[in-house]
Amino acid sequence: MSKLTGVALTAVSGAAFGSMSILTKFVYAEGVTPTSLLLLRFSIASLCLLPLLWWQKLPLPRGKQLLAFIFMGGVLYTAEAQAFFIALKYASAGLVGLLLYLFPALVMLLSAVLFKEKITRRKLLALSLASLGLIVTIGFDVSGQPLGIALGVLAAMLYAVYSIIGEKFGGRTHPIAAAFVVMASAAVCHIGLVAIQGWHPPQTASGWSAMVAIAILCTVIAIICYLAGIAIIGATQAALVSTVEPIVTLVLAALVLGEVATPMQWLGGGLIIAGVIVLTLKIPTRRAILNEIHD
């Protein structure tokens, strides 16, 4: 598949993840706790994927691949989600959001150290534009207690490792099969957490509708597209493209919740898009230009 396909899949994933903040507001309004939400999210998503696995006769990963995807869902994704939601209690949403999006830079560094992936000027420019855009979009409300800051950084580190492992093992497994193992593993771990913290499901049909939308749109579609994107363009570029997520949240907040976006937020969104364009466009090398002139 082409690089553009990988970028498109990752952008769809970012858009799907971006809608989760909006849908979560409706679920939380019914008294659903973060742990109950995550259990429902991963359980419903796993059940939705079973018919696809059966219909397409997709084999589940085995051996090291199976263990890797179980670790991604049962440990990394579970811990990242818990760290992120707990961090919101001890730091502003803007600060936690910025700390989470340290993960593209962490992925770039880890890829360079572990896989000897070259850090090009284009990647650095895309990272700089996306990071500046995130700062402008999310805002400058960066108040927080040390625990909230530490958990925000931890969430970014866990998601970076998740992306790296996804790149290493994702290319040899169908994205649907990989996503099923990740989600099922996360669901099993959250069963134990709910047993400790208590069960608080939605109380109305509208709450359940939002919950199902989170499971299908923000989990099934988002994770499958992200894993497929990583397999095509690699973890570093997928992490950079996924910074479109806050733009989608911004647009949906305006359309669904009636929240008015500021000019600075739209400017930040433009910077993020510029970073993705820089990463996506095929810029001819000096040698290619000289050859074209010569021809």
Q: Is residue 135 part of a domain?
A: no
| 104: containing domain | 3-127+141-260
Mean pLDDT score of the chain, rounded to an integer? 85
Give the other-Cβ count within 10 Å of 116's Cβ.
7
Number of domains making up the chain: 1
Residue 267 resides in a domain: no
This prediction has a pTM of: 0.81
Q: Is residue 205 part of a domain?
A: yes
Q: What is the DSSP string of the chain?
A: --HHHHHHHHHHHHHHHHTHHHHHHHHHTTT--HHHHHHHHHHHHHHHHHHHHHHTTPPPP-HHHHHHHHHIIIIIIHHHHHHHHHHHHHB-HHHHHHHHTTHHHHHHHHHHHHH-----HHHHHHHHHHHHHHHHHH-S---B-HHHHHHHHHHHHHHHHHHHHHHHHHTTS-HHHHHHHHHHHHHHHHHHHHHHH------SHHHHHHHHHHHIIIIIIHHHHHHHHHHHHHHHHHHHHGGGHHHHHHHHHHHHS-PPPPHHHHHHHHHHHHHHHHHHS-PPPHHHHHHHHH-
Q: Which residue has the higher pLDDT, 17 or 280?
A: 17
List Cβ neighbours of 31 (8 Å cut-off, separation of 6 or more). Answer: 200, 203
Question: Quick check: is 178 in a domain?
Answer: yes
pLDDT digit string (tens) for 211-247? 999 999 999 999 999 999 998 998 888 988 888 887 8
Instruction: Tell me, yes or no, whether 60 lies in a domain.
Output: yes
Kindly state whether residue 164 falls inside one of the protein's structural domains.
yes
Token pair recorded at residue 188: 């099993």
* pLDDT tens column, 122-142: 888 888 888 888 777 666 655
Q: Which residue has the tokens 């929240």?
A: 259
Q: Is 133 a domain residue?
A: no
pLDDT of res. 282: 57
Instruction: Tell me, yes or no, whether 290 lies in a domain.
Output: no
